[in-house]
Structure 1
Amino acid sequence: MVERRPLFKLLCHLVLIVGIVSIALPVWIALVATTHNNTEFATGTPLWFGDLGFSVFRDLLSGKEAYNNSTLPIPQMLLNSFVMAMCITIGKLTISILSAYAVVFFRFPGRMLAFWLIFFTLMLPVEVRIMPTFEVVTNLNMLNSYYGLTIPLIASATATFLFRQFFLTVPKELVEAARIDGAGPIKFFFDILLPLSRTNIAALFVITFIYGWNQYLWPLLITTDASYYTIVMGIKQMLGVVDGVIEWNKIMATTIIAMLPPVIVVIAMQKAFVKGLVDSEK
């Protein structure tokens, strides 16, 4: 029987409310800031909507709005971020699930050595790998291209490890039954293993999509052409000051726009995402 503790329940609700406010307040301020002129920020941070309404969003999405005497195409940057996030996500999932499948269900010399070599890359920080990767991308002439934005980031030791751990929980009787029924490796993979991995794939899809969408350092290194800028890079570019006035309303509006795709992905895949993280049979 659960013991009733009114004070503990009240404390839990207070902590929950404080957490919600601390997360929602910056988003609210950013949304309100889009409706004010830049001069209004000189006297303080407004907390209620201004006279501009949401006209700033319309100007941004039209792709004709100027920032600091230059034009940053918001629709193009959104497209670049989406292409980068989707390619990284699909690439990571494909490579990881195939490599984990090979390590668990096939017997070949050096398979565990190959797995541990992949796993050891988790111990290398990004700063150690980023300059050699940049050198390789430069030598392959992949600067200012979607190939350069995505290919170096699609391998994932974490996803490989998670899929391997899940595949190890698949009963051997199921594998033997598939063999008796005449299912080869390809049929077993597509008809049995992939359906069983739905929740894991969904959880990793959300995580890797957000990872790819929020990339900043790597696109900053390999792109000099504005047509390949991502939306996260665009926010940084807009922080340049002209005549001592930072265009906060446009920066905040771009920030809100950049937040929407990851939020939509999380909401759309919320059930599968949570199940993939907490499923006891993972």
Structure 2
Amino acid sequence: MAEHDMVGASRSGRIAAHLFLILGAVVVAFPIYYVAVASTHSLQTILRPPLPLIPGPEAYQNYHEALAGGIGRIGGVSVDRLLLNTTIVALGIAVGKIIISMASAYAIVFFRFPLRMAMFWLIFITLMLPVEVRILPTYKVMVQLHLIDTYAGLILPLIASATATLLFRQFFMTIPNELLEAARVDGAGPWRFFRDILLPLSATNIAALFVILFIYGWTQYLWPLLVTNSNEMNTIVIALRKMISFADADTPWHLVMVTAVLAILPPVLIVVLMQRWFVKGLVETEK
């Protein structure tokens, strides 16, 4: 009897846990669903609450207008141009951060040079300096180098990453010295050791960091807002803010919702496609 009660209590606990998780998923997913539904309705329907909770008939027209026609409040720039800009910026930031972080961590761990640890701590201290602290001198440098309204101006100031350098350093320190000695005996130089040994071993770490850094680059707001004057160079996050007016009647809400949905899709796609590598890179301890 006692055993039966325990089994029943265990089953009830599992059901309660599943219900709680389902409720949490609904709470998180409902705003996204609401935006997706709104993107399929006309502006008049959106401005006349309550908004229907089922998709409307204007999906093709809304998405075609946003992707091909251009949006007046952002200078007639189409959403496909905004997506291209944001993709280039996010990929440039993610790839640039990984390359620079791996190179700096490799130098700090495997090379012996004066002030090596001082350099590491100098990099580490930059974690305490948010972008807002160094944004004015950085902007001045971009102006002097004529990099305003360029992809280089959007990407270069954001590609240094103390966090990624620290993570790669910690991983490189787990590489056995015997592996390094074996590579030396085999005649492998620094570049060959990095390319043939460290790079393959770091694949899961790179994948996990790429997902995080891509989303970081995709959602940037403050720096792109400062370094771009032309609507043609806006990222999709900046364009979303520009599309919204203080007066509801002046805001093309149907196009705002379409742009929001298209802004969500690439990061979600990256996470879905790289989920296995992302999880493996976070939890794998044996190398």
Q: With structure 2 as the length reference, what TM-score do the two structures score?
A: 0.92
Aligned to 2:160: 155
Distance 1:281 1:266 in 2: 23
d(CA) in 2 for partners of 1:43, 1:259: 24
Which amino acid is 2:70 matched to?
A: E
Q: Which piece of structure 1 moves more, 133-142 or 209-218?
A: 133-142
Select the residue among 77, 87, 93 that pairs with 2:98.
93
Q: Is the 8 A contact 1:68 1:241 kept in 2?
A: no
Deviation at 1:66, TM superposition (A): 3.3
Structure 1 unaligned spans of 5+: none
Q: State the 1:33 CA deviation.
A: 0.5
Query: 1:239 corresponds to which residue?
Result: 244
Contact map agreement 2:74 2:239 (CA 8 A) in 1: no
2:196 aligned with 1:176: no
Q: Which moved more, 1:11-20 or 1:146-155?
A: 11-20
Q: Is the contact between residue 36 and residue 51 of structure 1 (CA under 8 Å) also seen in structure 2?
A: yes
Q: Are the counterparts in 2 of residues 29 and 46 from structure 1 also a CA contact under 8 Å?
A: no
Q: Match for residue 136 of structure 1?
A: 141
Structure 1 CA distance for aligned equivalents of residues 228 and 260 of structure 2: 20
- Deviation larger for 132-141 or 248-257: 132-141
Question: 1:40 Cα deviation (Å)?
Answer: 1.9
Amino acid at match of 1:174: L
Bigger Cα displacement from structure 2, 53-62 vs 115-124: 53-62
Identity %: 51
1:121 matched residue in structure 2: 126
The answer as to 2:175 corresponding to 1:200 is no
Q: Deviations over 1:33-54 (max 9, x none)?
A: 0121222233223211223133
C-alpha displacement of 1:270: 1.0
Alignment of 1:9 with 2:6, yes or no, is no
One-letter identity of the residue aligned with 2:21: L
- Contact in 1 for aligned 2:74/2:243 (Cα 8 Å): no
Counterpart secondary structure, 1:237: helix
What's the offset of the Cα at 1:244? 2.6
1:37 to 42, 48, 53: 42
CA RMSD of aligned residues (A): 1.7
Q: Secondary structure at the match of 2:156?
A: helix
CA contact (8 A) 2:75 2:231 kept: no
Aligned residues: 279
What TM-score do the two structures reach when normalised by structure 1? 0.94
How far is 1:185 from its partner?
0.8
One-letter code aligned to 2:196: D
Q: Judging by fraction of residues, say which structure has more helix.
A: 2
SS at match of 2:204: helix
